[in-house]
Amino acid sequence: MRGAGESPLRIAFGEADAGWIDLNIRWGDRSLRIMCSGVFCPFPRMIAFLEAVLDGEAPVLCIDEEGSIGEIRCLPAGSGISVVVTRHASSFDGATRIALERLKFATGRDAFVTAFYRAWRESMACHADSFAREWLYWGGGGPDEWDAEEMAAFETYRARLVSRRLDCHIGWQDCGDPKTGESSGREG
């Protein structure tokens, strides 16, 4: 049961497994799961999506589930946003999308980005070993074999721009290093 004033929004990323990471979005007692595939890695686009939400835009994040499509759409709604999360099946020719599941809710921009980004950072911190093992599926051979370009790609998942904005606007508490889970000791 939620405490008074606690948001009904819950976002969680599962542990990496055979090239897949679950993204679970819950609003109250309703939830929707999107499967993030290592074949069509959504994470660099995810960071751009979160930055666009903070910048007041109306972005859409499409996640290819290797057959179906997960879509997160943020639309202006008063002082916040209306979030529509949909899983689509594609027609054989790819021209038509058929909605399989849909979850809609309204929340603040900062609250949505905080929940989303914190879930991502906590997942990276909690599951750093499995994420490193799975990196083979997601773009490289693991941290011991990464070259500078691959390490830079991994570090972009930390979304420094999002972290700085959240630090500045809502007192973000550092979730720690995504590989070790250790906190920098810094609070926003």
pLDDT in tens, 19-32: 788 999 999 999 99
Task: Read off the tokens for 89.
Answer: 């099946």
How many independent structural domains does the chain possess? Answer: 1
Query: 0.75 exceeded by the pTM?
Result: no
In a domain, 81, yes or no: yes
| Residue 45: pLDDT over 50 | yes
Starting at the edge strand found earlier in the chain, the sheet holding 30-37 runs 9-13, 20-27, 30-37
In a domain, 187, yes or no: no
Spell out the residues 6+ positions from residue 12 whose beta carbon is closer than 8 angstroms to its own. Answer: 22, 23, 24, 26, 119, 123
Q: Give the CATH number for residue 82.
A: 3.30.2450
Give the per-residue pLDDT at 183: 46
Instruction: Count how many residues are written for the chain.
Output: 188
pLDDT in tens, 156-187: 555 555 666 665 443 334 444 444 444 444 43
In a domain, 4, yes or no: no
In a domain, 108, yes or no: yes
Domain that holds residue 139: 9-170
In a domain, 19, yes or no: yes
Question: In a 3-state reduction of DSSP, which class is residue 135?
Answer: helix
| 77 beta partners | 80
